Chain A
Amino acid sequence: GAGVSQTPSNKVTEKGKYVELRCDPISGHTALYWYRQSLGQGPEFLIYFQGTGAADDSGLPNDRFFAVRPEGSVSTLKIQRTERGDSAVYLCASSLGGGADTQYFGPGTRLTVL
């Protein structure tokens, strides 16, 4: 079946602009996660949704970052007033439930802020 998909695969923007990154989870998966991976580092947790609600947003670095999942399926990560330090690969994962359920990762969106 189809895996987790993310669009766009690459996004180049200018400092100060607004960007939206989209994640389509595996059908039927109730849990959805966003991570950020900087060059040479492991992925870093940003936010976790269970259904439509953000169950844990402790990883969002500041109030420029926001994510939604209005119908419990597709999620959008929104970044306002982008900064060069936001450049990274943004990864989305989904799992059937929470706990030890395997998180399946998408290919990521590479964001470059010039």
Chain B
Amino acid sequence: AQSVTQLGSHVSVSEGALVLLRCNYSSSVPPYLFWYVQYPNQGLQLLLKYTSAATLVKGINGFEAEFKKSETSFHLTKPSAHMSDAAEYFCAVSESQGAQKLVFGQGTRLTINP
């Protein structure tokens, strides 16, 4: 069975500082990995996804994530935080073979301090 662990349910950074949101997964088969963002009162929006091509994936709004198989990690980063980045972020995994469903982590709420 697949699972996702997001370390830190709340992360707070200053505007302009590095954003690092952690995600570790377990999967018995090669995974597809996703980061979604949920702004207040809005639906989930895809930030980026890994599907076994390049291990460093660039997404929207300056975010990127690196797939590290040896560490079973897919951490999300952004060099310089903006106030508009305040939201809830979800990491998700699906199997590259068979099952199509996404298994989500519990989410990390990102707060940006002025």
Distance, CA A56 to CA B107, complexed state (A):
24
- Flag if B49 contacts A100 (CB, 8 Å): yes
- How many chain B residues touch the partner (CB < 8 A)? 24
Q: List chain B residues, Cβ under 8 A from A98.
A: 100
Known: A42-B105, A43-B90, A100-B49. A55 touches B100 (CB 8 A): yes
Q: Pick from B36, B44, B102: contact of A45, CB below 8 A.
A: B102
A56, B99: Cβ atoms closer than 8 Å? yes
Within 8 A of B (CB), among A50-80: 50, 55-56, 59
Q: Are A91 and B44 in contact (CB under 8 A)?
A: yes
Residues of B bordering A, CB below 8 Å? 4, 9, 32, 36, 42-46, 49, 51, 90, 92, 94, 96, 99-107
Known interface pairs A42-B4, A42-B104, A99-B96; 12 further A-B residue pairs with C-beta atoms within 8 A, sorted by A's residue number = A3-B43, A35-B102, A41-B107, A42-B105, A44-B104, A45-B102, A45-B103, A56-B101, A91-B44, A98-B100, A105-B44, A107-B42
